[in-house]
Structure formats: structure tokens, C-alpha cells
């Protein structure tokens, strides 16, 4: 493996050709303060159905179907606000109707006295005119007042609905933060014993059961891995001693080397299982870690080891500080680099970038290699998954590299993105909360 240092005074541009969606950042590679702004392979947007021409999601069918589907698109907060407003308008209209009847009844008993009235018919006509004019003004002004107060009620209802739904928003926020490594969190909702409190308590009980199940699984994996390391170490020692005997025949030496290679593969598998079990636990050590320093250390160690293929490494390292476990973050970057080297072509290239991207501490590894179908990318993060190979045929690794990467990222509450590289290879981007 060879390394190509970045020229001083100019940003490294190798391998920064446009991705499939043209999402390469072409801004300058750094700004004052060491914050990298490019050239990153920016993670593409999630695949979602496109909106309609007006930007509004279209319902299938005719316009009547779209109207029927409208309530399902409204948020609960909006529906509660409209419900509050509708109830107020109904109550106000009923009150206005009752008041109108009462006022009309009262006015009908009022005696109207006017100058020049000499007959009873003139008095009754004047009284009817007075009642009609009074009721028209009363109803007109009452409707204006009802509309004004109704608008105020809708605004107040919007904030009241938000206040009423705040416990549900807390439940939703907790559920979004949870992963296999953060099941220790609880909602612990305080308040009256109502339906929302019951929902939160039920959710906490479910988290408790899930946490116990995950802890039991991790303890089993860790204990089983520890138990298997000892006999494998003994087997390796015995084989090395036997192969060191100069009187060993060529056939036995060939068998011994094959067994040593198999034993080494099993040791790597067990080490991967141990690291995977550890990375899925809650972090006990948190400290500011500069991803540029981590990447430099990983590249230095990787350059000392022998690899099956020669890969040219292009480092583009800028300071980007994350807050987490230094050992796990080193394993994360190491797995990304080793994965990019193992699954590369002889004479291929590898780019590793670190820095701050959109406010997140970011490390990105891009490598050449075989073409990766888009539908296979997500499966590569599953344990024991390899591209175009099953669990038995591949000898390049245990199939845990990207699984460990995802577990470490989730333990640090970050995000990992992967996308096929145009022309072959893979682009993996890890974004972590800044330190």
C-alpha cells in the first residue's frame, strides 16, 4: 500500500468527481478555523416519492379521493385546532340564536310611542320597524364579533393543542433517539394518571424488556467469544511449534499452514464479535476526539501491515472534533480503511477525508473497486454480509466491518451513509455530533 500526501497550498481534488447524482461539494477545501467545506461526496437525499407539480402530495384517484384523503394528511395539532374552532363557532351560533329569540321577545313587549301616531295600526307598524332594525343591527354586529373572537380562538387553540400534545412529542423524541445502544433511556413522564401518562409508562416498560433482552444477547456474545479465544490461541501455538520442527514433511507443513490460516480467520471473527458486542453497549468513556488525528494514526498502522493488494491512499485530513470513545472511534476509522483496502482492486485508489461538514464531525472513505449495486448497499451493513459472496466462500474478512461501523456510529448518536461510487467502489460517510 502506498500513500500520496496532499500537496501543500492546494486542496486535494483526486477522486472528487461528481457522484451519480452530481452531489460533490466544489467549495474550497478549508476555511479559517480548520473547517472543511469540500470536496466532499455529500450524502444524497433519501428515496421518497416525488411531490406533485405544486409541491403538494397527490392522492391517487380523482379530486374527490384527494378531498377524502385530506384529513389523513393533517397533523393531530391542526385537527385539534380546527375542532376547537368548530366547537366555538357552533356554540357561538347557538348562543347568538338564543339571544336573538330572547331579545326579539323582549322588544316585542316594548311600547313604542311617537309623535303623530293616532291609530293603533300606526303604532304597531312603528313597533315592527323598530324591532326589525334593532334585530338587524344586533345580528350583524354579533356575527362580526363572533368572527373576530373565532379567529382569536383558532390562534389560542393552536397553542393549547401544542401544550396538550407536548407529552406525546416527548414520547416521539425519545423513540427517535433510541437504538440498541441507548435503550437505557426512559421517558419518565410526570403528571396526572391520564391516558398519555399510561402510554408513556407502557412505553417505558417495553423499553425495559427490550433492554434486558439486548443485554442478555450481548453478554452471551461476549462470553462465548471470550471462551473461544483461549482454545484458538492454544491451537495457534501448537501449530506454530509443529511447523517450526525442521523434520516436518512438506504435506504436514502445507496442512499446518492451512490450519493456521483458518485459525487466524476464526480469531478475526471472534475479535469482530467482541468489538461488535462492545460497540452496542452504552458509552462509558466520552472525550473530545479529533478525527484527523485518528485517521492519521490508522493510516500509519495500516501502512506497516502487509496487504494482498497495493492501494494508493490519498489523505485529505482537516480537523474535526467529535465527542465519544477514542478507542471505538479508532476502530470505526480502521474498519472503514481496511474494508476499502480489502475490497479494492490491485493498484486501486482510496480517499479518506475528515473535517466538519454542515456542523458535524465527518469522516468519509471512498475507494475504487468492483461495481456495487444500489440495492446491495444497505445489506452490506448487516453482520456476515459480503458483496457477491456468502458466509463460506469469502476469505477477505469476517463480514463484520461495516456492521461494527454502524454500531459505533449509533452508540455515538451519529449517522452513516453509503453510496456506490461511479465507476466502481463505495463511498461511506460517517457524521458524528461535534465535540
Name the more confident of 216 and 83.
83
Q: Which residue is listed with cell 456506490?
A: 420
Contact call for residues 40 and 362 (beta carbons, < 8 A):
yes
Element counts in the chain: helices (H) and strands (E): 8, 8
pLDDT reported for residue 350 = 92
Phi-psi region of 59 (alpha: psi -120 to 50; beta: other; left: phi over 0): beta
Count CB neighbours of 97 within 10 A: 11
pLDDT reported for residue 293 = 93
141-176: per-residue pLDDT in tens? 888 988 888 899 888 888 888 888 888 887 777 777
Q: Is the pLDDT of residue 386 over 80?
A: no
Extract the C-alpha cell encoding 210. Answer: 427490550
Extract the C-alpha cell encoding 74. Answer: 393533517
Residue 312 β-bridge partners: 2, 349
Q: Is the pLDDT of residue 23 over 50?
A: no
Per DSSP, the three-state class of 316 is strand
DSSP strand E in 53-171: where? none
Average pLDDT in the chain = 75
pLDDT reported for residue 368 = 92
Separation of alpha carbons 381 and 375, rounded Å: 12
Whole-number percent of the chain with pLDDT over 70: 72
**39 preceded by a cis bond (ω within 30 of 0):** yes
Amino acid at each position: 500500500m502506498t500513500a500520496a500526501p496532499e500537496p501543500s497550498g492546494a486542496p486535494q481534488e483526486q477522486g472528487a468527481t461528481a457522484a451519480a447524482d452530481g452531489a460533490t461539494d466544489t467549495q474550497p477545501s478549508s476555511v479559517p478555523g480548520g473547517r472543511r467545506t469540500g470536496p466532499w461526496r455529500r450524502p444524497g437525499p433519501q428515496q421518497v416519492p416525488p411531490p406533485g407539480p405544486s409541491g403538494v402530495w397527490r392522492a391517487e384517484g380523482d379530486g374527490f379521493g384527494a378531498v377524502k384523503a385530506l384529513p389523513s394528511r393533517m397533523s393531530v395539532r391542526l385537527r385539534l385546532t380546527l375542532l376547537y374552532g368548530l366547537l366555538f363557532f357552533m356554540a357561538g351560533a347557538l348562543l347568538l340564536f338564543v339571544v336573538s329569540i330572547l331579545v326579539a321577545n323582549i322588544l316585542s313587549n316594548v311600547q313604542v310611542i311617537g309623535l303623530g301616531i293616532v291609530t293603533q295600526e300606526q303604532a304597531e307598524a312603528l313597533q315592527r320597524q323598530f324591532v326589525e332594525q334593532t334585530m338587524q343591527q344586533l345580528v350583524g354586529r354579533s356575527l362580526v364579533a363572533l368572527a373576530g373572537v373565532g379567529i382569536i380562538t383558532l390562534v389560542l387553540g393552536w397553542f393549547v393543542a401544542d401544550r396538550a400534545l407536548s407529552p406525546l412529542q416527548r414520547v416521539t423524541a425519545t423513540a427517535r433517539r433510541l437504538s440498541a445502544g441507548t435503550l437505557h433511556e426512559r421517558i419518565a413522564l410526570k403528571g396526572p394518571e391520564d391516558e398519555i401518562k399510561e402510554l408513556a409508562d407502557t412505553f417505558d416498560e417495553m423499553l425495559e424488556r427490550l433492554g434486558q433482552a439486548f443485554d442478555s444477547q450481548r453478554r452471551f456474545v461476549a462470553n462465548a467469544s471470550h471462551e473461544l479465544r483461549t482454545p484458538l490461541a492454544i491451537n495457534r501455538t501448537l501449530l506454530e511449534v509443529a511447523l517450526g520442527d525442521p523434520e516436518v514433511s512438506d504435506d504436514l507443513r502445507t496442512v499446518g499452514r492451512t490450519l493456521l490460516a483458518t485459525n487466524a480467520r476464526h480469531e478475526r471473527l471472534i475479535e469482530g464479535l467482541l468489538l461488535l458486542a462492545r460497540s452496542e453497549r452504552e458509552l462509558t468513556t466520552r472525550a473530545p476526539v479529533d478525527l484527523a488525528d485518528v485517521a492519521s494514526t490508522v493510516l500509519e498502522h495500516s501502512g506497516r501491515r502487509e496487504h494482498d493488494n497495493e492501494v494508493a491512499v490519498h489523505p485529505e485530513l482537516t480537523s474535526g472534533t467529535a465527542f465519544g470513545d477514542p478507542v471505538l472511534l479508532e476502530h470505526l476509522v480502521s474498519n472503514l480503511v481496511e474494508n476499502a483496502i480489502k475490497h479494492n482492486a490491485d493498484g486501486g485508489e482510496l480517499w479518506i477525508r475528515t473535517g466538519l461538514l454542515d456542523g458535524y464531525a465527518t469522516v468519509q472513505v471512498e475507494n475504487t473497486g468492483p461495481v456495487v449495486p444500489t440495492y446491495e448497499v444497505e445489506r452490506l451493513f448487516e453482520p456476515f454480509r459480503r458483496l457477491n459472496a456468502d458466509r463460506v466462500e469469502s476469505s477477505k474478512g469476517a463480514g463484520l466491518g461495516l456492521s461494527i461501523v454502524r454500531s459505533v456510529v449509533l452508540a455515538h448518536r451519529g449517522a452513516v451513509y453509503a453510496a456506490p461510487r461511479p465507476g466502481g467502489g463505495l463511498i461511506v460517510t460517517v457524521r458524528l455530533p461535534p465535540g
